Chain A
Amino acid sequence: MDEKKSIPFKGTPEQEEQLLKVIAEGKDVKGALMAIMQKAQDIYGYLPIEVQTIIAREMGIPLQEVYGVATFYAQFSLYPKGEYKISVCLGTACYVKGAGDIFDKLQEKLGIAGGECTPDGKFSLEACRCIGACGLAPVLTVNEDVYGRLTKDDVEGILAKYL
């Protein structure tokens, strides 16, 4: 595993109960592993090794298979995300319109690299590939809020809204 800033696992019994229910409902469907992992990530917000272990045990498959899937797909995260997930689109349309500069500016302002979370757990930053709002390029999202037609000077104003 590469070194990234992280915090200890804090799963609750309620979350585990929910997870066990999801697994019990889904495990006999053909090819269910990914769908179960997606739901597990909805429950916990990410997929720490503790959660992967539960999935492997309950589904009767080796942990390495779960881990293999978790690390293959970009959507699965082994690390917790911030309270505000900032995602900068680096799809082609946004890139040619300067999204790279916006991403750099965010890294500088937040003091974290892409894929990391600020130590207070407030912001996490990632690059994504095309959310399909190319008409608004360049675009970034903070949780569900979409900000488009940006310049790098807009970055501070956007961050200020969430402080």
Chain B
Amino acid sequence: MYRSHVLVCGGTGCTSSGSQAIINALETEIKKNGLETEVQVVKTGCFGLCALGPIMIVYPEGTFYSMVKEEDIAEIVSEHLLKGRIVSRLVYDETVADTGIKSLNDTAFYKKQMRVALRNCGVINPECIDEYIGCDGYEALGKVLTTMTPDQVIDTILDSGLRGRGGGGFPTGLKWKLAKGNDADQKYVCCNADEGDPGAFMDRSILEGDPHVVLEAMTIAGYAIGATQGYIYIRAEYPIAVDRLNVAIKQAREYGLLGKNIFGTDFSFDIELRLGAGAFVCGEETALMTSIEGHRGEPRPRPPFPAVKGLFGKPTILNNVETYANIPRIILLGADWFKSIGTEKSKGTKVFALGGKIKNTGLVEIPMGTTLREVVEEIGGGIPNGKKFKAAQTGGPSGGCIPAHLIDTPIDYDNLIAIGSMMGSGGLIVMDEDTCMVDIAKFFLEFTVDESCGKCTPCRIGTKRLLEMLDNITKGKATLEDIDKMEELCYYIKDNSLCGLGQTAPNPVLSTLKFFRDEYVAHVVDKKCPAGVCKDLLSYSIIKDKCFGCGMCAKACPAGAITKTDYVAPGKKLPAYEIDTAKCVKCGACVGTCKFKAIVKE
């Protein structure tokens, strides 16, 4: 028995900010103080509050240390772990109350969250199957295999109302039912862990923090549809998640929870990993299966749907990581429990990766129906530097923007689609007044053009033309007529592309056109970028009457575009400077050097 546990986040975010060095330092210091039999260090998955990483929590007190540095460890060990005195200057300030230390669950970031899919992340050691079992792990699988028929399993999932968390929102139970109904000598269960939406990392956090939950759920799915083999298709860019999955699969096999005759029944199921190689289109289900087969990951026309003819031509189901993470809880606590969370048509919770211009960057799990305002202002802690909220982007390159006037929209599948965005896999990027919406649309189109597989013409050529049109707009070379043409092209691409990538590629353009048309018009008619982002439309100038002639700006200019004039402003002693706009490269280096705010960008 240990009297104290120190949980250190070993997710990608905190590992990137140096949590492994923290763990090593902790272990050294603990040994130095002779505490190795009293204090245990546990490397866990993601706590969610990545902005404050590296994070560590000391239990039983629940003291939350944030942005810990290696050199702080000696003090934490000798003061807190040895003498029981909390090092308050290193504690997350939100948890410090007049009465002492507040529980983490009472802080603004965690208070409105509800952790179902992320339940074990940041709590257990993901490389230890016993800790997962200690948190009811594999109990749902046991229940399914020993007391339920496959139909009962499917009915429970159907009844729970669970919908796919990868983006589309298709009812999970229905997918399973369709696959079960097709007889075949072999069927497959696949897991989509090819999280390609830039800015989304919830699936990675689940795999890093709780890999067994995915294995357990896939095995349950295998039993339900009558499959004996599963594949997890995971991005090679997630090395930590790949390692932990490999460890988890090995442990599950050793415990007889994967492989032949699971729980002593005649049901056998095994899982293999397949590494993706960086192709966004492989998140599309038919492309993913083509890629598992070892080919170029190009999508196939549907029908036939994978439930009929999927991987290697056999009936296959494919679910997303987060969808699977909900399954064992639904089995254990029942469909009614799951249905009690969320809105009428969207049940349960959703994990979002909160990023961009927001204070608390990180991972949040909220009940469906929580408003965007609660997510941004309360959980997210608002926009930094006193800037104004402009829009939130959901659904990545397939989604759209939610503008400030719709900030009270309750988040669920249908509401987001109604306002021209989509749930997507859960990236939620916050933008402030410094973000140009035309530039953001262009950013997503550049991504789509890069990632279009080239199989069908509307997507391959259409997105390229769309990007050219956007590029012209950001350079001030377009006309109002071009905006209308661009809109027409968007609908053409949507209606005629083969797969989801192309069908949704124009969404970022359409949704910014819908809510921020005036910004497009400003680029086209006034030749101005209101947010000051599009370089071709910017110009820098010096207000001569404000210039003291110190010459700092001229020294900072890499292009030699700033020179002295003959003009001395009234009340000033030295001649003012000016910018030669023909030489200016618009880097903005001069602006920061001017103490008198005499340089303006417009």
From the candidates A38, A91, A93, A95, name the one contacting B277 in the complex (CB within 8 A): A38
0 or 1 for each of A121-140: is its CB under 8 Å from B? (1 = yes) = 00000001111111111010
Q: Do B17 and A136 have beta carbons less than 8 Å apart?
A: yes
Of B118-126, B135-143, B244-252, B287-295, the one touching chain A: B287-295
0 or 1 for each of B247-285: is its CB under 8 Å from A? (1 = yes) = 000000000000000000000000000111111100000
Q: Does B328 contact A (CB under 8 A)?
A: no
Q: Do B293 and A132 have beta carbons less than 8 Å apart?
A: no
Task: Give A98-136 interface residues, CB cut-off 8 Å to B.
Answer: 128-136
A79 to chain B, nearest CB (A): 15
A71 to B377, CA, bound (A): 44
From the candidates B13, B199, B296, B453, name the one contacting A136 in the complex (CB within 8 A): B13
Q: Does B209 contact A (CB under 8 A)?
A: no
0 or 1 for each of A14-34: is its CB under 8 Å from B? (1 = yes) = 000000000000000011111
A131 to B295, CA, bound (A): 24
Q: Do B277 and A34 have beta carbons less than 8 Å apart?
A: yes
Contacts A34-B294, A72-B296, A92-B443 given: A134-B199 contact, CB under 8 Å? yes
Of B68-76, B81-89, B353-361, B510-518, the one touching chain A: B353-361
From the candidates A32, A76, A130, A136, name the one contacting B200 in the complex (CB within 8 A): A130
Contacts A97-B356, A132-B204 given: A92-B13 contact, CB under 8 Å? no
The interface on chain A, measured as residues whose beta carbon lies within 8 A of the other chain's beta carbons, has a size of 37
A32 to B292, CA, bound (A): 8
Of B406-414, B427-435, B457-465, B570-578, the one touching chain A: B427-435
Q: Do A34 and B12 have beta carbons less than 8 Å apart?
A: no
Residues of B within 8 A of A69 (CB): 294-296
Residues of A within 8 A of B53 (CB): 135-136
A97 to B51, CA, bound (A): 14
Residues of B within 8 A of A33 (CB): 294-295
Residue of A nearest to B53 (CB): A135
Q: Does B491 contact A (CB under 8 A)?
A: no
Task: Give B410-455 interface residues, CB cut-off 8 Å to A.
Answer: 427, 429, 431, 435, 440, 443-444, 447, 453
Q: Do A31 and B429 have beta carbons less than 8 Å apart?
A: no
**11 chain-A/chain-B pairs, Cβ below 8 angstroms:** A38-B236, A72-B298, A92-B199, A93-B198, A96-B440, A129-B278, A130-B200, A130-B237, A133-B17, A139-B16, A146-B17
Interface, chain B (partner A; CB < 8 A): 12-13, 15-17, 49-53, 196-201, 204, 236-238, 274-280, 291-298, 312, 353, 355-357, 361-362, 393, 396, 427, 429, 431, 435, 440, 443-444, 447, 453
Interface, chain A (partner B; CB < 8 A): 30-35, 37-38, 65, 68-69, 72-76, 90-97, 128-137, 139, 146, 148
